[in-house]
Each structure stands twice: as C-alpha cells, then as structure tokens.
Amino acid sequence: MPNQMFKLNRLSLAIIASFSCSSLALAADSEADKQLSEMLIKGDKPAVPVNLPATTEGVSAKQIDESVNAVTSAEVIKYLPSLLVRERYIGDRNGILATRTTNTAGSAQSIVYADALLLSNFLGNGYGYPPRWGMVSPEEIQRVDVIYGPFSALYPGNSMGGVVQISTRTPEKFEAHANLQAFQQGYKLYGTNENYDGAHASASIGDKIGAWSIWLSGDHLDTHAHPMQFGIAGLKKGSAPAAGTFTPVSGAYGDKDQMGNPELITGANTIEHTVQDNGKIKLAYDFSPTLRATYALGFWQNNSDTRVDSYLKDAVGNTLYNTASSGPYQYVNIGNRYYTVSGMNPGRAESEHWMQGLSLKSNTQGVWDWEAAFSDYNYSKDISRTASGTGTDSGTGTVRPGGQITAMDGSGWQNLDLRGEWRPGGSLKSEHQVSLGYHDDRYVLDSNTYNIAADWLNGAAGALSGNSKGNTETQALYVQDAWRFAPGWMLVAGGRQEFWRAYNGSNYSSANKAPTPLNVSYSDRTDTAFSPKLSLAYQVSADWVLRGSLGKAVRFPTVTEMFQVISLPGNVKTNDPNLKPEQVVSGELTAERGLENGLWRVSLFQEDKQDALISQVDTTTIPGTNISSVQNIDKIRTVGIETAVQLNDLWIRGFDLSGSLTYTDAKILQDDKHTAYVGNHPPRIPSWRATLLGVYHASDRLSYSAAIRYSGRQHNSLDNLDINPGTYGGTSDYLLADVKVVYKLAKQWSTSLGVDNIGDYKAYVYHPYPQRTVFANLKFDY
C-alpha cells in the first residue's frame, strides 16, 4: 500500500506540475556575455530576444531571499528547470552541476561564470573537479541566468549542457550587508543517529566614490556533514582462514546493495567537519560614462577533517577499523563467515586558492563596443592527507600511523577573451548585431602523491608514490550575427573555430613493474574543430514566440582524463592520452505563450553525442576484467521535452506559482568497446524531473514559500543492473519538500526560518543526500 500511495503521489505531482510550472527567465546585465546584456526583459508577453539563440531561465536576488534556504551559491538555482547541483552536504566541495542532458559526474559538460570569471574547473571531468562555488557568497549575488544548450558561438564546447552566469553586486551608492545563519540536520542511517549542525556568516560593504566603485566582502562557513560513505565488508573466498588470523566481531548492519545482493555495513566514514573562508575585493573605475575597468581578487580557503565511526566491536569491546595484512586482524568473523574490512581511515585537507580578473569594457550601445578580459585561478595550496591505520588503530591516537599525502599546489587555469560588438545601424535596434572575438585558455595539472612513514597528520612527505602532470591550451575565434531580416523575425547564425593542444603530459607510479617504466611521458597532441550555430525566432503574435535552434559543440579531453593514471594489479594502467574529443549536435524547438498573468514555455530538445567521454570496461582489450577507465563511447542520443510556467497573483493577490516538468530519454546507440551496453541508459540522467514553487507575499513584511523537487528513475552505471537504487551506493529517485518564512523586522533587518526535505526523505546519489535540515537566518541590509 505505501508503494501504491507513493506512485499516486508521483503521478499527481507530474499532473500538477504540467499545468503550473514556471519560467523564471528575467534577463539582466551580465559582464560575461553580451547576449544577456542585450536580451529583452520577459514580462507578461513573450518577445523575440535580441542576439540570444537559446532558452534561458533565471532567478533574482529577491527571489532567492524569498524562497531558497541558500547557504552556498550552489544552492540558489535548485528550483530552475532541469538543473541539479549534487551538493551532498552544505559546503560540499564536489558540487557538480547537472543539466537536462548532462549528469552529476560530468563536471566539464557545462560552464559556470561569475562576472566573466570562470568558476568551472576544467582540469578534469568528474567528482573532484566541480565549479568553484565557494568563490561566490549567496549574499553577493544580484541574479543568476542560465542559457540551455550549446547554441551560442560565444562559448566553448563545454557549454553542451548549458551556461550559468552569476552576476554579483556593483554598488551605485554606499551599501552594507551582514548575514548570520545556523542550520542543523537530524540524520539516521544504519548505526548512525546524530545531529549535524553548522553556521554561516557573511559581511560586505560597497560604495561609489566619484569614478571609483569598490566592493569588499567576507564569508565564513563552519559545517559538520553527515557520513558520505559507509564501509562494506568483503566476503573471503575459499577456505576458512587459519587460526590466529581472524577476530570475531559484532555490530554490522545487514542491507542490500544496488544490485539487490546482501551486504554488511561495517561503519560510517568520510564524516567531514569543514571550515571555509572566502574574501573578495572588486574595484571598478569609470574612465568615461562609456568605458569601465574592473579588477576582482578572490581568496578561498578550506580546512576539513574527516573522521570515521566504525560499528564493529570485538569480544572485549575494542573498536575494529580495518583488517590488516598480518596478525589476528587479517579477517573478521561475522556470523561464522569471514570478511575483510576497509575504508575506516581519517583524513585532513587544506586548500588556499586565489582567483583574479581584470577587464576593460566599453558600453556606448552605438556602432562599436568591445571588451578585453583576463582571469587567473591558482591552487596556491591544495593538500590532502589520509591515514593508513588498521586493526584497532583509529589513526587518531597519540601515536599516529603513516599514510599518504597528495598535493596539487601550482595547478590552475588562465583565460583571455577579446570581444567585440558591431552594430552597423549604430544602436541596439540595428538590423544586424555582430559579435566576434578571440579566446585563449590554459590549464595546468600538477598532482603528486607521497607516502608518509609515520604520523600521517604531521609527518613530512616521504617517497614519491605517483604523480600526474600535463597542460592543455585552447585558442578560438568566433563570430555570430543576430539579423532582424523582417518584422518579428530574428536569425542568429555563427561559428566557433577552436585550436587545441595537449602537452607536457606525464605520470609516475612506484607500483609499476617491468616492462612498464616508473615514469611515462606522452607526445604532444594538437586538434582543431569548427562548431556552427543557427537559431531562428518568429514573433507569431503578441502572445506567441516560436524558436528553433541547432548547434554543434566539441569538448576536448581534460588534462586528468588523458594523463591522470591509476595503476592496478597486473600492471594495468587506466588512462588514455589519445582520447578523442566528445562532440554533440543539439537541437531545440521552443514555443513561448504569454498568459494573462504569466508566461508558459514548452521546449523539445535532442542531443546526439559522439565519442562521449565516460568511464567503462573495455572488453576488447582486457576481456573478463572489471577494470574501468575513461573511454570514448561511440554514440549517445538524448531526447526530451521541458515545460515551464510562471503565474503571478494566481487566485489571490500576492501569490506566485512557478515550476517545471521535464521528460528525458537518453540511450546508448553504439559502443564498440562494450557492445552489451547498447540500448542502455547513460548514468544519472533521470527520466522525469519536476519543480513546483509557491510564494505568498502576505504583506510587505511577511512572505511564505513552499517548494517540491522531484527526480525520477535513473541508473548509476552503464550496465543498468541497479535494480535497488534506493540504498547506499545506488542513485535513487526523490521527492523533497522545502518551506521558508521571511519576516522583515525593521527597515534594514529581516529574519527567516526554513526547512529543506521536510518529509525526511532518504535519497542517494551513490552517497546519501541530506535528510531533514532546519535553517535560521538573521540579515541586515543598508
């Protein structure tokens, strides 16, 4: 009966969302993209956008304050259509952005900017390379706009999923802001039943003095996360172990894995206490009313401690953490069966990252406008340490064991953009608006892992265990013309030519054995790609706009996909320096309808992807193994439909209802390296997604909001054999409800209370998502 009720609830949600979804697409100035700065504001009537060839959605600072329990900038877009940031806990450093055609493991398949500074981390394409959300505090944000799909020539191939533009505040007069937040999550799973809390504080001040504008801000986050992972006992094969090599223990929890197989959970690990600080200064100088120079400097630091909580006890009450290679802890006896246990290793991470950008931009809105922008992101310090304790050694005792240390100091990226805007007619209403530009980006990977002989927490780095190094560079030229060739018609056509190279690639592994050398260097590579774009929009009537868009995008392999190696038993390596770039051809048909009190949009989309870069088992070279590596999957097709509606003053004055509903069908059409996967669904693209958000403005001082987020069935692996997704290790559906109340105490003071996942739903993205979390907030704005 509960399952039937849940299915009915899901069906009801889909029906409701299909009639009352929302498009929050208000466009605003974005220093990062001339398209957004020229887009017409959407109101009650749809309009053909200027020089914008794709669907957009957006959310303003006011909407965020009213409806989102946001502690980090990654959370502010969670009610926009088809978007998800995989934030496993508040302040998660691995918050990957997923769009309607990309998943929570494809970090290099979408782009995030903040005021023209690249936050996306294209050193890799996976969990360890998310956008650097921590460089922007939610209180800085003026608004966020999203361009869906790779339909603009102004962006590289990483835009195949979409582009997120964060616009932060630029003061026009004196202003000051302060924000205090506290939050707590009650969490219960297996043998863990605890409360995890945190606090967040931010302050900022800005002013415009003559030709100068200045903005200073600081942000501090202290958060305790629930367990990200759990230890799973490994069953010993063959005969029983010899006497003296095993220890009877109790405390394990029985469960079933994502394949439906029985498993034993031995403890919780990756329980992080994270302290993050972000500081920023932004200076602007107006040489004239139409020429401005802007410099921004941001600093982000992170200190996190990872603890473990083993559930296993021996007969005298000692806690057992990991089995060992010798002695009485080689195996554990649980219910007269013998197992190995691992994963109960504490850790610590320390990071100091710097971001800076300089731009010079004209804004005449006449015949010519131009911009020159340079940005740099540097890992000045990035160190993680892991203990190697076994048996009853927790790794945190007075005498600490050895371990490993990984340093990525010196890694980072740089971007240079020279942009121009030509309007032959001399104004924003010109028949032609031509965007053209030059782009250059460079990425540097320098990752080194060392053994620590003793005291993993404070011991010096010892012998080199392995490293991965390499560089990539992409130069691009682009041009795009928005042509009003007839009343109500807009044709946007363009192309992007890219020149790519990878160089200085190498890796080292102390585990290598002859004939494979310890150190391997790779030949330099070059490649080129041309990506055409085309969009046609027509204003059918005052209430209807139609648009069709078609675009190609090419994403070249990242440094880590090519050069970061994992050495496995049997001298097997898992990296491929000769990976092909992945290419997509995407299309979208969109209709927008102006309603009496809002706007309704429907979009049909399709993406054909060739040579997709995904980790899989290559059955053609190593038959019968379970070794996975990043490889090219020949062809994947994704088709879908998305609808979104915004309704203002619905039923009663002050009540706004918004939301979205998306259906997606993604399938592997060709995979020569693993033909059994043909016809399967690629990982982590749900078939159904929906949002529903209601905001009631009871008065000028009081507002209420309630929201629902739904994500349907999806698979965690290419084999699609995960028949039990609602468990640790699986990727589950979810139905989450959030609420928030905001009250203005005085002219400059406001407070809010909110709850995310009010129904305490247990959801998983391999790792468990947060359970019910309560937020309290006090805010000052002058």
Query: Per-residue pLDDT for 369 more than 70?
Result: yes
Decide if 431 contacts 425 (C-beta within 8 A): yes
Query: Per-residue pLDDT for 73 more than 50?
Result: yes
Lowest mean pLDDT among 7-11, 190-194, 484-488: 7-11
Query: Per-residue pLDDT for 13 more than 50?
Result: no
Structural tokens at position 479: 């041009």
Q: What is the predicted pLDDT for the residue at 388?
A: 93
CA 26 to CA 42: how far, in whole Å?
5
Q: What are the tens digits of pLDDT across the range 117-142?
A: 899 999 999 999 999 999 999 999 99
| Residue 322 per-residue DSSP state | B
Query: Per-residue pLDDT for 48 more than 70?
Result: no
Q: What are the tens digits of pLDDT across the range 638-685?
A: 999 999 999 999 999 999 999 999 999 999 999 999 999 999 999 999
Lowest mean pLDDT among 16-30, 93-107, 363-377, 453-467: 16-30
In degrees and rounded to multiples of 5, residue 617 shows phi and psi of -85, 130
Burial 54-66 (b: 16+ CB within 10 A, else e): bbbbbbbbebbbb
| Residue 431 per-residue DSSP state | S
Query: Per-residue pLDDT for 366 more than 90?
Result: yes
Q: To which residue do tokens 């494809």 refer?
A: 106
Distance of CA 572 to the CA centre of its chain: 31
Angstrom distances, CA of residue 288 to CA of 359, 362, 428, 603? 15, 9, 20, 42
CA 232 to CA 263: how far, in whole Å?
7
Distance of CA 641 to the CA centre of its chain: 22
Q: What are the tens digits of pLDDT across the range 393-430?
A: 999 999 999 999 999 999 999 999 999 999 998 888 88
Higher pLDDT, 502 or 35: 502
Lowest mean pLDDT among 402-406, 496-500, 594-598, 752-756: 594-598
Query: Per-residue pLDDT for 621 more than 60?
Result: yes
DSSP structure string for 359-409 = EEEE---SSEEEEEEEEEEEEEEEEEEEE---BT--S-SSS---EEEEE-T
Query: Per-residue pLDDT for 46 more than 60?
Result: no
Decide if 31 contacts 116 (C-beta within 8 A): yes
Q: Is 654 left (phi over 0), alpha (psi -120 to 50) or beta?
A: left
* % pLDDT > 90, the chain: 85
Angstrom distances, CA of residue 424 to CA of 154, 218, 365, 431? 20, 44, 11, 8
How many other β-carbons are positioned within 10 Å of the β-carbon of residue 403? 24
**Confidence tier at 362 by pLDDT (50, 70, 90):** very high
Decide if 347 contacts 457 (C-beta within 8 A): no
Mean pLDDT of 550-569: 85
Residues 6+ apart with CB under 8 A from 747: none
How many other β-carbons are positioned within 10 Å of the β-carbon of residue 745? 12
CA 609 to CA 713: how far, in whole Å?
22
Structural tokens at position 671: 């995979």
Q: Supply angle C-alpha 157, 158, 162, rounded to 5.
A: 110
Query: Per-residue pLDDT for 44 more than 50?
Result: no
β pairing state of 56-60 and 84-86: unpaired
Query: Per-residue pLDDT for 363 more than 90?
Result: yes
**Confidence tier at 576 by pLDDT (50, 70, 90):** confident
Query: Per-residue pLDDT for 18 more than 80?
Result: no
Q: To which residue do tokens 């104004």 refer?
A: 427
**Confidence tier at 547 by pLDDT (50, 70, 90):** very high
Query: Per-residue pLDDT for 448 more than 50?
Result: yes
Structural tokens at position 690: 């929906």
Q: Helix (H, G, I), strand (E, B), or coil: what is residue 302? A: strand
Mean pLDDT of 429-450: 95
DSSP structure string for 597-657 = TEEEEEEEEEEEEEEEEEEEE-TTTSTT---EEEEEEEEEEEEEEEEEEEESS-SSTTEEE
Q: Supply angle C-alpha 86, 89, 95, rounded to 5.
A: 30
Mean pLDDT of 365-392: 95
Structural tokens at position 387: 């203990």
**Confidence tier at 622 by pLDDT (50, 70, 90):** low
**Confidence tier at 20 by pLDDT (50, 70, 90):** very low
CA 474 to CA 414: how far, in whole Å?
11
**Confidence tier at 619 by pLDDT (50, 70, 90):** confident
Q: What is the pTM of this model?
A: 0.91
β pairing state of 246-248 and 331-334: parallel
Structural tokens at position 180: 């205090």
**Confidence tier at 781 by pLDDT (50, 70, 90):** very high
CA 81 to CA 24: how far, in whole Å?
9
Q: What is the predicted pLDDT for the residue at 628?
A: 76
* % pLDDT > 70, the chain: 91
Q: Helix (H, G, I), strand (E, B), or coil: what is residue 713? A: coil
Taking alpha carbons only, the member of 561, 608, 603, 606 closest to residue 581 is: 561
Q: What are the tens digits of pLDDT across the range 505-534?
A: 999 988 777 777 788 899 999 999 999 999
Query: Per-residue pLDDT for 457 more than 90?
Result: yes
Q: What is the predicted pLDDT for the residue at 3?
A: 39
Q: To which residue do tokens 């005969």 refer?
A: 239
Mean pLDDT of 431-457: 96
Residues 6+ apart with CB under 8 A from 763: 726, 732, 733, 734, 736, 769
Query: Per-residue pLDDT for 25 more than 60?
Result: no
Q: What is the predicted pLDDT for the residue at 572?
A: 53
Q: What is the predicted pLDDT for the residue at 518?
A: 84
Q: To which residue do tokens 């880590």 refer?
A: 560
Task: Quote the strand ranges of 516-627, DSSP E.
Answer: 519-521, 525-539, 544-555, 567-568, 572-573, 582-595, 598-617
Q: What is the predicted pLDDT for the residue at 50?
A: 52
Mean pLDDT of the chain: 90
Structural tokens at position 383: 């160190």
In degrees and rounded to multiples of 5, residue 713 shows phi and psi of -60, 135
CA 380 to CA 237: how far, in whole Å?
46
**Confidence tier at 47 by pLDDT (50, 70, 90):** very low
Higher pLDDT, 623 or 277: 277
Lowest mean pLDDT among 229-238, 568-577, 609-618: 568-577
Query: Per-residue pLDDT for 202 more than 80?
Result: yes
Query: Per-residue pLDDT for 43 more than 50?
Result: no
